[in-house]
Amino acid sequence: MARARFPDTTTDLISDSGNLLWSFAQGEQLEFPITLNFIEDITVVGYVYEAAIVEGLNVPDQTSAPDDIRSGGVTDALVVRVPTLIGTWDPAVAYNKEEIVLAGSVYYKLLGGASRVEATAPASDPLWEVTSLSKIYVQFDAAIAATWAVQPSVSNPAYGFFELRVTEPTDAVFTRTWKPVRGVVELLFSPTHVTADP
C-alpha cells in the first residue's frame, strides 16, 4: 500500500514504490479502473469505497506540487462505481453496458449496449471483455477543483491530493480499512474550459 510522500509520484500500485499522479485538463470528466488485489469480490454487500481530493496549498506561478494542503481548502468527494454482477450468462437475457456475467469460469463485462440480447457466448463476442470481481471505478467529475483558491494558468498547474479508502463489511472481531491508492492530482489549464459554451 502507498506510504511514500505525496510529491513522489509513480504509477506502480502494487510494489509501493510511490504514489500515483492523476493529470487532468480543466473540465475533463473521466473514469478510471482500480484493481483491489486484496478483495476477491467487490460486489459483496457492505464494503464501503470512498475517494476524495483535498486542495493543495497552491500559489500563483508554482512550478511543482505543494508540500501541504490548503487550510480550510476544498475537499471533493469522488464517486466510486462498483460494477453490477448479473450472474451466470444466459443467451436469452438482456444485458446492459458495464454489467458483469460469469460464463464458464471467467467473468466478462459488456462494453456497450442497452437491453442487448445475443446468442453468441461472451468468449466469442467482441462486445464482452474479460474482467475480474476485484475492479472498481473512480469517477473524476468535470467540476473538480472549480472552486479552488488558485486555478491553473497557461504555464502552471494547480494540485490536490487524492486518496482511496476501502472498509470491509462490519465484523464482530475487527473491521479492516485499507488505503491502497494515494497520490497527486494535477489540474492543467484548458482553453475550452474558459470559453463560453455555444
Query: What confidence score (pLDDT) does residue 4 get?
Result: 67
How confident is residue 138, by pLDDT bands cut at 50, 70 and 90? very high
- Separation between Cα atoms, residue 106 and residue 57, nearest integer Å: 46
DSSP string, 21-68: EEEEETT--EEEEEE-TT-S-TTSTT-EEEEEEEEB---TT--S--SS
Phi, psi at 131, each rounded to 5°: -140, -170
**Is residue 29 within 8 Å of residue 192, measured between CB atoms?**
no
Residue 6 pLDDT more than 70?
Answer: no
Mean predicted lDDT score pLDDT of the chain: 90
Name the pTM for this structure. 0.84
- Kindly state the average pLDDT of the residues 128-145: 95
* pLDDT single digits (tens) 20-69: 889 999 999 999 999 998 899 998 889 999 999 999 999 999 989 999 99
Q: Could you give all domains of the chain from N- to C-terminal order, each with its CATH number?
A: 27-82+133-191 (2.60.40), 85-131 (2.10.10.20)
In this predicted structure, what is the pLDDT of residue 171? 83
- When mean pLDDT is compared over 2-11, 128-137, 170-179, the highest value belongs to 128-137
pLDDT of 1 strictly over 80:
no
- pLDDT of 14 strictly over 80: no
Q: Rounded to an integer, what distance in angstroms lies between the CA atom of residue 71 and that of residue 86?
A: 44
Asked if pLDDT for residue 16 goes beyond 60, the answer is: no
What is residue 63's predicted lDDT score, i.e. its pLDDT?
Answer: 87
Determine the residue type at 123. Answer: A
What confidence tier does 8 reach under pLDDT thresholds 50, 70, 90? low
Per-residue confidence (pLDDT) for residue 193, from 0 to 100: 85
Q: What is the mean pLDDT of residues 150-154?
A: 94
Q: Render pLDDT for 95-118 as a digit per residue (tens, 0 to 9).
A: 999 999 999 999 999 999 999 999
